[in-house]
Amino acid sequence: MQSNTKKKTVVVVGGVAGGMSFAARYRRLNLDDEIIVVDKNPYVSFANCGLPYHISEEIPEREDLIVVSEKTIRDRFRIDVRAEEEVVRIVPEEKKICTETKAGEKKEIAYDILVLSPGAKPIRLDIEGLASHPAVFTLRNIPDLDRIKGALAGTQPKSATVIGGGFIGLEVAESLKNAGLEVAIVQISDHVLPPFDPEMAVFAEKELTDHGVKVLTNNSVEKVEGKKLTLQDGSELESDLLLMSVGVAPETGFLEGSGIELGMKDGIKVDEHYRTSVPEIYAIGDSIIVKHTITGEDVMIALAGPANRQGRQLADMLSGYDHDLSGSLGTSIVRIFDRAFASTGLNESQLEGRNYQPIHLIGKSNAGYFPGSEDILLKLIYDKDSREILGAQAVGKKGVDKRIDVIATAIKAGLRADRLQELELSYSPPYGSAKDIINLAGYFAENVMLGLTDPIQISELADYEKRGHRVIDVRTAKEYERGHIDGAKNVPLDEIRDRLDEFEKDEKYVVHCRSSVRSYNAERILKAEGYHVKNLDGSFVYFAANFPDRIVRD
């Protein structure tokens, strides 16, 4: 623990997750040092992630978003909070910062240790005519929220367009829809939820459209004329409100001339102790470049969890307690109306050149025979050579958070994909299954590793068909009649042994069912008889969601 023979002045630039976590922890470990928190915003401790939910008043009281009041921070922790005071310059050679208050008063604050936690700012697109729109917003802090709430109460808008289909954009879209507006989302890429792979993100788009939100992918707003928006494809939207949610950028402009080294996207470079390139200056939170847990590469992850953790770790380090840092995974979750969408680690677009295997499963949130159980769709990606878990994505109404959190923990612990079958997870019919979907993922991965099943991806089916593979649907006849892949032949699993004469040894087959379980059994039966068989990974549920034009309904 740090010696307190000499009182130090520790200045923290920026509050909220990183800055306030640092300040509170540092105070508990160092009772005599002076701690000053400077923040250009009016609130230094608020629930940033809760902001979208006050738009529709699902969080009814604005005050509920204030985590800790300035009075409590001062009284309980003896921290000098200076809100609405902006840092305009750092002078490392004199160990001081220069600030300016909201009233225009210029000040200087000397420090022994300087901790930077300025966070990130919303990116605003440069769109032709944007200034002509009467109501353009971003959402990052409580003043932003107040402006949006003021517009809803004042002009009583009927429509809104959200530019950007990431986590915050979708949360805002949901809240605006729940507030009674007609909502459109414009997303420049081919799917919403960029951390997800396309075949998983399609379920998010369906959830949005099922609740009346218009989703426009592969598109962008090119021109604004008052409330009229002209899109890249030439179509037009009328929108009373325009919300920009296209990501964030590090709030590091004030560091110019400080000598602090910046890197990707103007993020702050730090070492394994959060030290910047300038002595006695440290940095944490959304503005810093971190190492990805899996790849070890530089990434920027603007999430509250990592920022809180970094604040506490730095306070420990400056107090004599070291930490072995394992980087960040970017584990995150979002609710879109009735379903949750969660991910951890890497997606396929981040794995170019790596020998990896994706697998898709469908399981239950709890015992299927217990009332209220719901489907969970899970994608697991692992390295074929090392068996290392590389990432996961999950969708469902219940239990999604638990499953992704378990996998995120497994990644941090270095657990191999096939070892997921060994995890002993709590089980009772209202809460889980004796064979949890996490365990099933381990079984599935092991079967692939042992060569007991040979999965192909739904995106590959058309190519396999062109190469002569015949598609066999092993669901029941009633399931087949309700909807099937065009060209698929129905041979129910329970009839397959009695109908082997319908298969040819010189033919190649792709089998599928609803979720790949029955088709795995069919694959094993046919392979034992000498047939060449592949199993459609994810089977009908994933295929039908992604290729609806290929589904025939009798």
pLDDT given for residue 120 in this prediction: 95
For residue 42, the model assigns a pLDDT of: 94
Return the C-alpha torsion angle 357, 532, 537, 404, nearest 10. Answer: -50
Query: Quick check: is 325 in a domain?
Result: no
Q: What is the distance between the alpha carbons of residues 416 and 286, in angstroms, rounded to a whole number?
A: 30
Same domain, 88 and 100: yes
- Domain boundary (203, 223, 247) is at 247
Residue 312 sits in the same domain as residue 344? no
User: Which residue do the tokens 């009467």 mark?
Assistant: 134
In a domain, 323, yes or no: no
Residues 258, 115 within the same domain: yes
Q: Are residues 260 and 368 in the same domain?
A: no
Q: What is the pLDDT along the chain (554 residues), one digit of tens a residue?
A: 444 468 999 999 999 999 999 999 999 999 999 999 999 999 999 998 999 999 999 999 999 999 998 999 999 999 999 999 999 999 999 999 999 999 999 999 999 999 999 999 999 999 999 999 999 999 999 999 999 999 999 889 999 999 999 999 999 999 999 999 999 999 999 999 999 999 999 999 999 999 999 999 999 999 999 999 999 999 999 999 999 999 999 999 999 999 999 999 999 999 999 999 999 999 999 999 999 999 999 999 999 999 999 999 999 999 999 988 889 999 999 999 999 999 999 999 999 999 999 999 999 999 999 999 999 999 999 999 999 999 999 999 999 999 999 999 999 999 999 999 999 999 999 999 999 999 999 999 999 999 999 999 999 999 999 999 999 999 999 999 999 999 999 999 999 999 999 999 999 999 999 999 999 999 999 999 999 999 999 999 999 999 999 999 97
Residues 350 and 388 reside in one and the same domain: yes
**CA nearest neighbour of 20 among 63, 83, 92:** 83
Compute CA distances 195 → 98, 179, 209, 514, 547, whole Å.
39, 27, 20, 26, 21
Compute CA distances 74 → 44, 47, 70, 83, 114, whole Å: 12, 19, 6, 12, 19
> 495 and 462: one domain?
yes
Q: Give the domain CATH number at 421.
A: 3.30.390.30
Residue of 288, 46, 398, 331 whose CA lies nearest to 167: 331
Within a domain: 43:
yes
Q: CA nearest 548: which of 489, 486, 465?
A: 486
Q: Is residue 269 part of a domain?
A: yes
First to last CA, the chain: 73
Same domain, 164 and 190: yes
- pTM across the whole model: 0.94
- For every residue of 249-309, DSSP letters joined together read EE--GGGTTS---B-GGGPBP--TT-B-SSTTEEE-GGGB-EEBTTT--EE----HHHHHH
Q: Taking the CB of residue 247, how many other CB atoms lie within 10 A of it?
A: 16
Residues carrying an active site annotation: 49
Output the pLDDT for position 3.
Answer: 47
- Residues of the domain holding 305: 9-48+56-120+249-318
Q: What is the pLDDT of residue 1?
A: 47
| Final residue of a structural domain among 448, 467, 498 | 448
Residue 328 lies in a domain: no
Are residues 116 and 136 both part of a single domain?
no
Count CA atoms within 13 Å of residue 206 on its CB side. 17
Residues 443 and 540 placed together within one structural domain of the fold: no
CATH of the domain at 91: 3.50.50.60
Instruction: State the pairing for strand pair 34-39/248-250.
Output: unpaired
Q: Token pair for residue 230?
A: 């002209």
Compute the distance between CA of residue 230 and CA of residue 238 in angstroms, rounded to an integer. Answer: 9
The number of residues in the chain equals 554
At which of 247, 262, 281 does a domain end? 247
pLDDT at 155: 87
What distance in Å separates the CA atoms of residue 534 and residue 536, rounded to the nearest whole number? 7
Counting the structural domains of the chain, the total is 4
What is the predicted pLDDT for the residue at 5? 63
Q: Same domain for 383 and 421?
A: yes
The tokens of 119 are what? Answer: 């966070």
- Looking at residue 6, its pLDDT comes to 81
Residue 68 falls within a domain, yes or no? yes
257 and 109 within one domain? yes
Q: The domain that contains 459 carries what CATH number?
A: 3.40.250.10
Helix (H, G, I), strand (E, B) or coil at 241: strand
Query: Is residue 3 assigned to a domain?
Result: no
17 lies in the same domain as 109: yes
152 within domain boundaries:
yes
